[in-house]
Amino acid sequence: MRKAIEGEKMHAYPGMVALVTSQLEERSNVMAAGWHAYIGASPGMYGIALREETFTYGLVRPSGIFGVNFLPAAQTEAIQGAGTFGGHEGGKLERLGLGFEPGLKTGVPILSDAYMAYECRVVDMNAYGDHYWIVGEIVQVYQDEALFGADGLPDLSKLSIPLYMGRASYRILDERAENKIHRL
């Protein structure tokens, strides 16, 4: 039975993990962000929540650019590593075995294995609670169109999507998951 709960209780998952890439001069990084959202269109806008003490924040703040990358289910170990290891030692992309190319518009790393990715320029940044909410305008989209159907949705017969549940645990969404369609 549902009841009122004292204090805080974070409920953000199951959900996709955004791998946030960053670049400032010769330094680059990748981290996993569980708190993120597509938040506007015309132009497309993407928001990510970052703590100030992350290495990524230290790169995004002065550079004003970040990447948002979505990896398929085969890559959950790299996703977990991106969420667990710090970036201060450098070379985190290489340590995680994540190939990348510089983005066309900003040079921020775009992961080679991302089936969908965005290059963003920061347009706003505000602190809410213990995180900064960083809003970027999407200036370049990347997509593996072969993994999406004619309706624009992911084709789960070709693309298995990892959903983070919390506590290092992932569930894989694939075509075996029950499908419900409600055209009202």
User: Interface residues for its own copies in 71-100 (CB under 8 A)?
Assistant: 73, 76-77, 80-81, 84-85
Q: What part of residues 50-69 is at the interface with its own copies (CB under 8 A)? A: none
Structure tokens at 2: 């549902």
Exposure of 168 by Cβ count < 10 A (0-12 exposed, 13-18 middle, 19+ buried)?
Answer: exposed
Enumerate residues 5-24 that contact its own copies by CB under 8 A: 5, 7-16
What whole-number distance in Å separates Cα of residue 112 and Cα of residue 135?
A: 24
Which CB, 48 or 59, lies closer to its own copies? 48
When the beta carbons of 59 and 114 are compared against its own copies, the nearer one is 114
Q: Write out the binding residues for its own copies, residues 134-163 only, by CB under 8 A.
A: 135, 137-138, 140-146, 151-154, 156, 161-163
CA distances from 169 to 17, 39, 72 (A): 12, 26, 15
Q: Which is closer to its own copies, CB of 24 or CB of 156? A: 156
Which residues are CB-contacts of 71 (< 8 A; sequence separation ≥ 6)? 17, 19, 78, 79, 111, 113, 114, 115, 162
22 neighbors 65 (Cβ within 8 angstroms):
yes
For its own copies, which stretch binds (CB under 8 A), given 23-31, 55-63, 87-95, 169-177?
169-177
| Nearer Cβ to its own copies (26/43) | 43
Q: Which is nearer to its own copies, 25 or 153 (CB)?
A: 153
Cα(35)–Cα(41) distance, integer angstroms: 19
Contacting residue, 17, 60, 108, 114, with its own copies by CB under 8 A:
114
The rounded distance, in Å, linking the Cα atoms of 51 and 64 is 16
Q: Does 25 bind its own copies (CB under 8 A)?
A: no
Give the binding range for its own copies (CB under 8 A) out of 19-27, 55-63, 87-95, 123-131: 123-131
